[in-house]
């Protein structure tokens, strides 16, 4: 009985395979009768029929029948295709910016240098042409930033209008300013290639630089947002492709943007170089250049103040207390971040220290939801209560309180910050990275403490009564660090 069932099962499967082969044959013939693929498909079907050959033994009865009836068609071996892994194309050679001097320009346009020019006159022409050429380069870079980066990011909808405004700032207002100076200098040039007086021209043009005040103040938040948006794979890919392209000269977006600020702060130096070679007899040009330099320095000072305020606001927002109800009035009143950086305490823990114009805040770096914040460590020290002690190398030992009584390793480049009244809060023993780093910190502290002392005296207190904080030179390490 079992053998009969097996035979019936095999017969049924053969009929199924024959029908499948016929269907496959017609489908393949209708699709493409001249391809080898159809013959291979028929061979696969015939191989299935061979698996169900009646010559197989049926000794195992119904178990054999169950295995044969639940057969699986083995997949045909895939054709081995040599697939080459994707490799990014080699970056194109960077576009090199030609560095031309005034002498080079004269040789290619006029032919020879004017013989009547003295060495001093040639130096002045070179200085004027350097200003002109740097303006051309800046206009080119700003147009790349505007058209290639700003407009493309907007068109691709990778950044919103608000994000674009925060990252790029008032870039639309900067391009016409520098194009205007290029045109003025070019129109001032004589047919023989020389340029005479530029003092009046620059004095009229420099006030246009006031647009850089908002541009510089915006950079603090713009840089932070750009770094955050780089976590977006699409944005990062776009920026990398642009950087690899020849037009960028291997410079990233922020380098191009910050280049405008770098040129902005160099205007006094460029104009002083021109003034250096102006003839003493040309009093009017000297006077105009001096006024232009003064105007530029005032604009730069204002931009620096606004940038300092923006930086102060940015980091104040990043500083958190352990308990939300905690506040620090001196921190809220601060308007300038004097300096900041990483230092270590005598236990080896890394701290991030902020010196504002009103308070010293010692923090620990913290990350929350991918955002960097700074958690306040111990009490902030108001500047009017701040005492800075310069500790000698070897006075402080590295390690915990217990190891301080042992033969622990002494450290260098150490200073201590504390309250003028010890019961107001704890002190910090801080270790700088090297001697230069320590010196910079002490210079910042000394300037700030001096300012606070002067302000306190102006209020009406006498120097005898005033216990002014300052930087002390310790003879021995103090206890209670």
For the cut 60, the answer to whether the pLDDT of residue 225 exceeds it is yes
Which of 338, 148, 307, 299 lies closest to 223, judged by CA? 307
Residue 421 confidence (pLDDT)? 86
Burial of 243 (0-12, 13-18, 19+ CB in 10 A): middle
Place of tokens 């006159």: 121
Question: Considering the domain 102-317, what is its CATH architecture?
Answer: Up-down Bundle (1.20)
Q: Strand, helix or coil at 354?
A: strand
Torsion region of 249: left, alpha or beta (phi above 0 gives left; psi -120 to 50 gives alpha): left
Query: Which of 6-10, 52-56, 437-441 has the least mean pLDDT?
Result: 52-56
At residue 255, the pLDDT reads 94
Residue 109's pLDDT is what? 72
417 φ/ψ angles, rounded to the nearest 5 degrees = -115, 135
Question: Which residues, in sequence order, are bridge partners of residue 397?
Answer: 410
Q: Is the pLDDT of residue 251 over 50?
A: yes
Average pLDDT over residues 57-65: 47
* 478 within 8 A of 346, measured Cβ to Cβ: no
Residue ranges per structural domain of the chain: 2-69, 102-317, 321-473
Residue 432: per-residue pLDDT: 92
| Model pLDDT for residues 301-345, shown as the tens digit of each residue | 999 999 999 999 999 999 999 887 788 899 999 999 999 999 999
The rounded distance, in Å, linking the Cα atoms of 264 and 481 is 46
The answer to whether residue 406 scores a pLDDT higher than 80 is no
State the average pLDDT over residues 279-284: 87
Burial group, residue 396, by CB count within 10 angstroms (0-12, 13-18, 19+): buried
Residue 405 predicted with pLDDT over 80: no
Report the pLDDT value the prediction gives residue 448, as an integer from 0 to 100: 82
Q: pLDDT at position 294, please?
A: 98
Mean pLDDT of 192-217: 94
pLDDT at 267: 97
The second-level CATH assignment, the architecture, of 321-473 is: Roll (2.30)
DSSP code per residue over 287-304: HHHHHHHHHHHHHHHHHH
CA distances (Å), origin 333, targets 5, 328, 330, 450, 459: 96, 9, 5, 19, 18
Q: In this predicted structure, what is the pLDDT of residue 456?
A: 38
- Angle between helix axes 171-188 and 211-229 (nearest 10 degrees) is 130
Which of 160-174, 383-397, 420-434 tops mean pLDDT?
A: 160-174
Res. 54: pLDDT tops 80: no
Q: Does 321-473 match 102-317 at the fold level?
A: no
Fill in the DSSP letter of residue 357: S
pTM: 0.68
Question: What backbone phi and psi angles, to 5 degrees, belong to 382?
Answer: -60, 145
Instruction: State the chain's mean pLDDT as an integer.
Output: 78
Would you say the C-alpha torsion 35, 37, 41, 42 has a positive or negative sign?
A: positive
Structure tokens at 368: 């929350």
pLDDT recorded at residue 172:
93
């Amino acid at each position: 009985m079992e053998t009969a069932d097996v035979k019936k099962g095999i017969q049924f499967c053969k009929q199924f395979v024959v029908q499948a082969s016929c269907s496959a044959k017609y489908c393949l013939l209708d699709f493409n009768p001249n391809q080898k693929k159809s013959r291979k498909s028929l061979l696969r079907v015939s191989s299935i029929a061979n698996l169900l050959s009646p010559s197989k033994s049926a000794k195992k009865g119904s178990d054999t029948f169950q295995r044969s009836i639940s057969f699986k068609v083995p997949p045909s071996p895939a054709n081995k295709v040599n697939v080459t892994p994707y490799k990014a194309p080699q970056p194109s050679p960077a576009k090199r910016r030609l560095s031309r001097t005034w002498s080079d320009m004269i040789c290619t346009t006029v032919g020879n240098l004017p013989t009547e020019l003295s060495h001093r006159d040639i130096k002045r022409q070179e200085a004027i042409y350097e200003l002109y050429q740097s303006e051309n380069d800046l206009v080119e870079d700003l147009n790349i930033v505007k058209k290639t980066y700003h407009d493309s990011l907007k068109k691709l909808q990778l950044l919103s209008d608000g994000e674009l405004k925060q990252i790029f700032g008032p870039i639309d207002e900067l391009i016409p300013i520098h194009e205007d100076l290029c045109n003025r200098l070019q129109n001032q040039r004589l047919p023989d290639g020389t340029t005479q007086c530029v003092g009046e021209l620059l004095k009229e043009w420099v006030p246009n630089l006031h647009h850089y005040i908002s541009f510089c103040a915006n950079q603090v938040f713009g840089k932070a947002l750009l770094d955050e948006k780089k976590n977006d794979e699409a944005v990062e890919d776009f920026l990398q492709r642009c950087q690899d392209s020849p037009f960028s000269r291997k410079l990233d977006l922020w380098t191009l943007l910050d280049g405008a600020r770098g040129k902005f702060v160099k205007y006094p130096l460029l104009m002083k170089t021109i003034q250096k070679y102006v003839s003493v007899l040309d009093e009017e040009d000297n006077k105009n250049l001096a006024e232009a330099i003064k105007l530029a320095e005032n604009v730069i000072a204002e931009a620096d103040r606004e940038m300092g305020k923006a930086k102060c606001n940015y980091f104040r927002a990043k500083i958190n207390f352990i308990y939300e109800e905690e506040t620090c009035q001196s921190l809220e009143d601060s308007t300038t971040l004097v300096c900041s950086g990483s230092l270590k305490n005598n236990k080896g823990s890394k701290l991030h220290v902020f010196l504002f114009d009103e308070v010293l805040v010692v923090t620990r770096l913290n990350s929350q939801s991918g955002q960097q914040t700074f958690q306040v460590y111990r009490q902030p020290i108001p500047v009017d209560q701040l005492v800075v002690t310069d500790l000698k190398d070897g006075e402080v030992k590295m390690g915990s309180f217990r190891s301080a009584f042992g033969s622990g390793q002494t450290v260098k480049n150490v200073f201590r910050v504390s309250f003028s009244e010890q019961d107001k809060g704890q002190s910090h023993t801080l270790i700088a990275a090297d001697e230069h780093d320590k010196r910079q910190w002490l210079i910042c502290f000394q300037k700030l403490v001096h300012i606070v002392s002067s302000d306190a005296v102006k209020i009406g207190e006498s120097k005898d009564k005033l216990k002014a904080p300052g930087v002390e030179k310790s003879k021995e390490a103090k206890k209670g660090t």
